[in-house]
Amino acid sequence: MSPVADPGAGPLAGRSALVTGGGSGIGLATAERLARDGATVTVCGRTEEKLARAVAAIDRAAGGRADAAYVVADVTVEEQVEAAVAAAAATGSLDILFACAGGAFHMGPMAEADAAAVRATVDLNLIGSFLSLKHAAAAMSSTGGGAVVLMSSGAGHFPHRWLWAYGMSKAGIESLCAYAAEELGPQGIRVNCVRPGIIDDELMSMITAGGPLLDDYLAQTPLGRVGTLEDVAEAVRFLCGPESDWITGECLAVDGGHHLRRGADYSLLFGPGD
């Protein structure tokens, strides 16, 4: 872990951030990173117990000096997203949004797909990101601008076999990023994406524990290792901080070079590949 600085003197002091999906994983690691640099951080998610633990972890990461809170909110429910944005902006402004909430409800061949599971995947990833961006942009435009970072995936940029429902929803997020960056730039709002590869977190633990799919990932990753939560958190911190004030519409791959080769073959989770 990086040394703990005085949050009140950090480069993000005076800025307010909302992290969706901030109860665990990349969202929590990023919330901790923002708090260490002085931001006031609000995390949201669907499980209150997890969020309460997250706020305690954020405070510990900032040496007990964090200004952190949580709001229970489902990003697919617009009224709850609006309430989360309002809570994060209660300090007077919303300066940073990291729309991290996401997941997958379908994996497998297209011809066998359950349409409801595919819709749920798109709703969570793409529509949830849109709703978060919509309400954050309204808050930011009234106070002079801000920085938005959306969560894409390598699967949204190039095919990962059998991960197509998740991938197409993430591809939509990259398109949303470009459209939003163009439209919102005159209002002082920057919009960028991070595009992680395989990350060693609880959601990917069944893969990172070992097996044919992990072997496939590593064979297609030039730097030859799994990513860490901190790898992504540092990239998000850069994109929402003053160091990137002239960057917008960018999709930053944080994947050890995986995008230079081919996508992973998720059929390996179910047996030998064809």
- Would you state the structure tokens that stand for residue 13, as one six-digit string? 């002091």
Q: What average pLDDT does range 216-223 have in this prediction?
A: 98
Please list, residue by residue across 208-218, b when 16 or more beta carbons sit within 10 angstroms of its beta carbon and e when fewer do.
beeeebbebbb
Average pLDDT over the chain, rounded to an integer: 95
Predicted confidence (pLDDT) per residue in 6-39, tens digit = 555 799 999 999 999 999 999 999 999 999 999 9
Task: Give dist(CA 130, CA 175) in Å, integer.
Answer: 11
pLDDT for the residue numbered 271: 74
Predicted confidence (pLDDT) per residue in 117-147, tens digit = 999 999 999 999 999 999 999 999 999 999 9
pLDDT for the residue numbered 6: 59
Of the pLDDT bands very low, low, confident and very high (cuts 50, 70, 90), residue 260 is very high
User: pTM above the 0.85 mark?
Assistant: yes
Instruction: Answer whether 32's CB lies under 8 Å from 62's CB.
Output: yes
Domains belonging to the chain, first-starting first, are: 10-251 (3.40.50.720)
Q: What average pLDDT does range 241-250 have in this prediction?
A: 98
Q: How many CB atoms lie within 10 A of CB 109?
A: 10
Alpha carbon distances (Å) from 220 to 140, 227, 250 = 40, 13, 23
pLDDT at 2 over 60: no
pLDDT at 235 over 60: yes
Collect all residues with Cβ–Cβ distance below 8 Å to 155 and sequence separation of at least 6.
163, 166, 167, 170, 263
pLDDT for the residue numbered 7: 54
pLDDT for the residue numbered 8: 59
Predicted confidence (pLDDT) per residue in 54-103, tens digit = 999 999 999 999 999 999 999 999 999 999 999 999 989 999 999 999 99
pLDDT at 274 over 70: no
pLDDT at 43 over 60: yes
pLDDT at 4 over 70: no
Residue positions annotated with a catalytic role = 166
pLDDT at 1 over 50: no
Predicted confidence (pLDDT) per residue in 152-198, tens digit = 999 999 999 999 999 999 999 999 999 999 999 999 999 999 999 99
